[in-house]
Amino acid sequence: MLHKKSSLARAMLACLLVVALPKIAPAQDGAGTLDPALQEAVRAAMAVGSDPLPAGLEMTPEFIATLVQEQGEDGREEFELSLLDAIELAVRHNLTVQVSRYNQDTSFEGINSARAPFDPVITFTVPQTFRRSTTPASTQTEGADIVTNETFSGGFTFRETLEWGTFWQVNWGGNRNVTNNEFSFNNPTLTSNLSFTVTQPLLNGRGSVNRTGILVAQNNYEGSQEQFRAQLEQILLQTYQNYWGLLLQIETLRVREDALELAQSQLSRNRIQVEIGTLAPIETVQSERQVENARLALIQQQNAVADQEDALKQILNLEAVRPDALELRLVPTSELEYSTAPIDLEAAIATAIDRDPQLRQIRLGLDSDRLNLKQARNAQLPQLNLSAGLNLNGRAGDRLLRAPDGSILEIQQSGFSQALAQIMSGDFNTWNVGVTVQMPIRNYSADANYARASINERQRIVTLEQRRQQVVFDVRRTARSIESGVRQVETAQIATGLSERQLQAEQRKFEVGTSTNFQVLQFQDQLRNARLSEINAIFTFLNSRAQFELAKGTMLEFFGVSVSEAGTGRR
């Protein structure tokens, strides 16, 4: 039982309930607070293992604007903050979360990069060349004393490698040649060529091994998602701890204030008794020392509250919502209560093994190792490639019909379309089929890569088992901490109540002269320590509850957070 000002026993139910729900959209009234009906629904749902809120309730950022601000006792503007508000702010605005989101985006682009070997490529060569040559004739059959040729050529090539390993290519080219050779059959001469080439690996490079890079990149991307999820869970845990840490530091400050008030009251009583002669003046020294010690502890605790407040502001990136955040005084509004349902340890362990982000990353890494091992094994095979090709030709141009004396009798004109028509007819073709074999005498590189991939796979299997074992022990440890934490809080509350009663009794005895100042001061110290122990016990329990969800890998579900919303805040 905490002291009368703090009522620390009020509200841990909100902490356990809010976090166990899916996304909650608080209904709001005119005062900017949660609707009472929704508050009741939240409280009813907060017990461990309870059913989620009805469908349609969704956690939205609008409620951030409904936070109530007032002027605090120290003149600073108050910023009321529930645990739900803190979670929403951290999820959307925390800078670490926003930085981690970029890692996901970068990893996703790795998938597209891995597809590069299968990108089709088209190359245009229009014009490819324009060439003019002039050569002296060496024989009478060359058709001129000085032979001149002008050639214009161009075309395109399309090539692609398929994921199965098949390489295919289409090439089209054409040229136009003009010459002064009198024996030329066509002048100008138009030629065109269309060729198809296909090569299929039958051993090395055949099949799905060619997609290894893409599949590994996809695993890396999924691994980055799990890494982002793990980072987000850590931020939620830190938000949870800092929120309740601030509230408990404030409660500790009140304990210190009460301790100072009790010490000052005792000093006042001592001085009165000294004045009336019922107490020796030396007795006030102990009380004065008690007052100064309490004042020193109060100053130190005020600094601790300010440090905890700044830590919470930093993790929430509160400046993204309020530019004057550093000048605000945070006021936690969620109430502390503690309760827990019986824990099904076997079910919790099964959930943890399935949901733990690190285990998921290791499984993805193991899948990548096996893909790399398969590719390395394929690389040890000799290269056996089947290739085939088809070449289609066409020719056209102005046909020169000459007389026996070499004079031109008639010119039969034909255009490039005739050359293309000859290609399409397939009458003028050349085809080929062949097999090539390449077998290295000693393939050191491939053998080393295979050995390395095999070692990586075995190492990853051991790492997977190591992490699985760690997850099991973490779940067991945090489950015990919850069960122990409840008993510790109950015991600490009983101890606080007994200390209050002891102090009251001792003060009455001191007033009638049957006790000493020293004994009263001792009981004041015991009450202060009992209250501090109660605060620590409650914080330990709260932390154990969150650590249990973290160990299970269900931290996001515990707080009702959607990964898609994380890191989406904007200034």
Supply the DSSP symbol for 28.
B
Q: Residue 413's pLDDT is what?
A: 63
Four-residue CA torsion sign, 491, 496, 498, 499 = positive
Q: Residue 47's pLDDT is what?
A: 34
Of all helices (H) and strands (E), which one includes residue 422?
Answer: helix 416-425
Q: How far is CA 502 from CA 8, 267, 506, 521, 533, in A?
A: 21, 19, 6, 12, 17
Nearest to residue 529, comparing CAs of 256, 244, 336? 256
Q: Would you state the structure tokens that stand for residue 437, as one six-digit string?
A: 């074999």
Residues for the chain: how many in total? 571
Q: Which residues on adjacent β-strands are paired with residue 186?
A: 399
Strands 78-81 and 329-332: parallel
Report the alpha-carbon distance of residue 259 to residue 292 in Å, rounded: 11
Report the alpha-carbon distance of residue 317 to residue 311 in Å, rounded: 10
Supply the DSSP symbol for 430.
E
Report the alpha-carbon distance of residue 18 to residue 496 in Å, rounded: 28
Report the alpha-carbon distance of residue 327 to residue 319 in Å, rounded: 10
Report the alpha-carbon distance of residue 423 to residue 417 in Å, rounded: 10
CATH number listed for the domain at residues 12-109+216-365+456-565: 1.20.1600.10
Q: Where are the domains of the chain?
A: 12-109+216-365+456-565, 112-215+381-445
Helices marked H in 277-344: 283-316
Report the alpha-carbon distance of residue 368 to residue 10 in Å, rounded: 51
Contact 532, 255 (CB under 8 A): yes
Residue 349 has φ and ψ, to the nearest 5°, of: -65, -45
Residue 82 has φ and ψ, to the nearest 5°, of: -90, 170
Contacts for 66 with CB less than 8 Å, ≥ 6 apart: 28, 32, 33
Q: Residue 280's pLDDT is what?
A: 82
Q: Residue 22's pLDDT is what?
A: 33
Report the alpha-carbon distance of residue 534 to residue 528 in Å, rounded: 10
Q: Would you state the structure tokens that stand for residue 215, as one six-digit string?
A: 């599949």
Four-residue CA torsion sign, 212, 215, 218, 222 = negative
Q: How many CB atoms lie within 10 A of CB 57?
A: 19
Supply the DSSP symbol for 334.
P
Find where tokens 């991307």 sit. Answer: 221
Q: Would you state the structure tokens that stand for residue 347, as one six-digit string?
A: 């079910």
Q: Would you state the structure tokens that stand for residue 338, as one six-digit string?
A: 């503690």
Residue type, 299: I
Find where tokens 């400050």 sit. Answer: 253
Chunked in runs of 10, what are the mean pLDDT values of the chain (571 residues)?
Answer: 36 32 35 41 36 36 38 70 91 90 89 92 80 73 71 87 92 81 70 90 91 94 92 92 90 88 87 83 85 92 93 92 88 79 88 93 95 93 93 76 58 70 82 91 89 94 95 93 86 89 86 78 84 84 88 88 70 42
Residue type, 76: R
Q: Residue 489's pLDDT is what?
A: 85
Q: What is the CA radius of gyration of the chain?
A: 42
Q: Residue 26's pLDDT is what?
A: 36
Supply the DSSP symbol for 140.
G
